[in-house]
């Protein structure tokens, strides 16, 4: 199955300084969609994980864990945690089986010794869900993701609200504390934005972007 699509930042970057250029979007369609409300979730600073369920029939499936790409290694302590969480997972408890398919559950592995994850969890690691794809191109919407997370007993990335692009830019520019971090002074990494209806670009890719807190901090330097 395909890896998770690359999430491009909202703004172009100066080639010399690598700083974002405010007002210059990476894609023209962001200007077109500037004033619609986007689904904005907290961006977690961890390592991308996807759980693949190869579902052949109701009583025949396999589960495997992967990093962002097939070559990416999952940290050993996180791999142990994933096995503890999902080795006894039965997809029939979560999904309604209709036909053989592959389901990919995308999330972030985060916590101690993963990026700055000690701010999130000081003595453990965890998995937090942010997307689910069925087959090659069916992306589930927020309501379904929340239901799946609840049935699986896992966390889901916090919904920070529905905002226009300009509102989301100001929200991140002003900075906000991570809603899942044990360290209540730890600034969130930023926002991930999706259109409510899963709009696609002209190449058939889902329209999705990110706004990072550090980009505005770098502008001030």
Q: Report the CATH number that the domain containing residue 117 is assigned in CATH.
A: 3.30.470.30
Rounded to an integer, the average pLDDT of 201-207 is: 93
Round the average pLDDT of the chain to a whole number and report it: 93
69 pLDDT band, cuts 50/70/90, is low
Asked whether residue 1 is assigned to any structural domain, the reply reads no
Both 39 and 22 in one domain: the answer is: yes
Quote the domain boundaries for residue 32: 11-43+159-220
Chosen domain end from 114, 141, 156: 156
Q: What is d(CA 218, CA 97) in angstroms, rounded to the nearest whole number?
A: 48
% pLDDT > 70, the chain = 98
Q: What is d(CA 5, CA 172) in angstroms, rounded to the nearest whole number?
A: 23
pLDDT tens for each residue of 115-166: 988 999 999 999 999 999 998 889 999 999 999 999 999 999 999 999 999 9
* Count of residues in the chain: 221
Asked whether residue 86 is assigned to any structural domain, the reply reads yes
78 pLDDT band, cuts 50/70/90, is very high
Judge whether residue 186 has pLDDT over 70.
Answer: yes
Both 138 and 182 in one domain: the answer is: no
pLDDT tens for each residue of 12-40: 999 999 999 999 999 999 999 999 999 99
In DSSP terms, 101 is beta-bridged to: 55
Judge whether residue 114 has pLDDT over 70.
Answer: yes
Q: Quote the number of domains for the chain.
A: 2
Nearest one of 168, 221, 207 to 190, comparing CA atoms: 168
Both 148 and 67 in one domain: the answer is: yes
Chosen domain end from 156, 185, 204: 156
Q: What is d(CA 104, CA 2) in angstroms, rounded to the nearest whole number?
A: 9
Rounded to an integer, the average pLDDT of 81-104 is: 90
Q: What is d(CA 192, CA 87) in angstroms, rounded to the nearest whole number?
A: 29
Nearest one of 166, 172, 151 to 214, comparing CA atoms: 172
Both 148 and 207 in one domain: the answer is: no
97 pLDDT band, cuts 50/70/90, is confident
Both 57 and 151 in one domain: the answer is: yes
* pLDDT number for residue 70: 65
Indicate the pTM of the whole model: 0.94
* pLDDT number for residue 84: 96
């Amino acid at each position: 199955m395909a890896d998770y699509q690359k999430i491009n930042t909202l703004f172009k970057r100066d080639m010399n300084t690598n700083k974002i250029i405010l007002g210059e979007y990476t894609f023209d369609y962001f200007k077109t969609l500037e004033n619609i409300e986007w689904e904005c979730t907290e961006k977690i600073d961890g390592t991308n994980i996807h759980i693949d369920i190869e579902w052949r029939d109701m009583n025949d499936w396999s589960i495997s864990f992967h990093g962002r790409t097939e070559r990416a290694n999952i940290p050993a302590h996180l791999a142990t945690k994933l096995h503890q969480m999902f080795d006894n997972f039965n997809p029939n408890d979560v999904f309604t089986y209709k036909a053989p398919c592959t389901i990919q559950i995308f999330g972030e592995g985060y916590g101690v010794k993963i990026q700055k994850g000690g701010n999130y969890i000081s003595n453990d690691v965890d998995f937090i869900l942010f997307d689910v794809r069925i087959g090659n191109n069916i992306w589930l919407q927020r309501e379904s993701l929340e239901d799946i997370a609840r049935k699986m007993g896992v966390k889901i990335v916090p919904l920070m609200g529905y905002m226009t692009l300009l509102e989301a830019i100001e929200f991140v520019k002003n900075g906000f504390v991570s809603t899942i971090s044990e360290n209540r002074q730890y600034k969130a990494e930023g926002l991930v934005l999706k259109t409510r209806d899963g709009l696609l670009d002209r190449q058939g890719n889902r329209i999705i972007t990110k706004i990072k807190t550090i980009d505005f901090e770098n502008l001030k330097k």
